[in-house]
Amino acid sequence: AEKLLMEVLFPQWMGPDKHGLTIEQKGQGEIFVKEVKDESPAAHTGKVYEGDQIVGATIYFDNMSSEETSELLKTLNRHKVGLKLQNKTGEKSPCRSPMGTLTEASAGSSDHSGKVTMGLDKDVKNISSPLEAGFKASSMMGGTAFSTVKGPV
């Protein structure tokens, strides 16, 4: 059976409980949906199911203060992070690994500027394009990915 990776958007995320999700940690850093409460916001999406593995999350900086954004980035130390940046000339910088080689972390849409993509995953390629969603819940096996997006500048 093929495992489907999808993203589900929660515009006003306030934690799993508020959205009707019970999550549990298994193994080494793997997080799964243990329960989806009936009639909850998560249930109403029709896309989140018991047993789905949460392999990542996308956080949009649109309504965050620069203090919140800065604090978020500071708390993610000691993890693999890929930054997608826009320099002053308006050209995008390619994501680079610590060795200076190009990675595939920017494999999404090339018209999103100011995107910051952070990976906790061993394989940065697993971070999908954050075009329409903010919360990944899937049955896909693998590490945890985390990406962050700044809205239009």
Q: Which residue has the higher pLDDT, 111 or 150?
A: 150
Query: For 115-139, what is the mean pLDDT?
Result: 39
Backbone angles phi, psi at 41, to 5 degrees: -55, -40
Separation of alpha carbons 98 and 86, rounded Å: 19
* pLDDT at residue number 84: 59
Q: Which structural domain range is residue 139 located in?
A: 7-149
Answer whether residue 19 shows pLDDT above 60: yes
Q: Does a structural domain hold residue 98?
A: yes
Let me know if residue 1 belongs to a domain.
Answer: no
Instruction: Say what the pLDDT of residue 69 is.
Output: 87
35 - beta bridge partners?
22
Q: What is the pLDDT of residue 1?
A: 64
Count: domains in the chain: 1
Arithmetic mean of pLDDT over the chain: 69
Percentage of the residues of the chain whose pLDDT score is greater than 70: 53
Residue 26 placed within a domain? yes
Across 23-27, average pLDDT? 93
Instruction: Report yes or no on 2 lying in a domain.
Output: no
Please give the helix or strand (H or E) that residue 47 lies within, else none.
none
Range picked from 16-30, 76-90, 137-151 for highest mean pLDDT: 16-30
- DSSP structure string for 55-90: EEEEEE-TT--HHHHHHHHHHTTTS-EEE-EE-TTS
With a cut of 60, say whether residue 100 has pLDDT above it.
no
Whether residue 41 is contained in a domain is answered as yes
Check residue 95 and give its pLDDT.
57
Comparing 95 with 140, the larger pLDDT belongs to 95
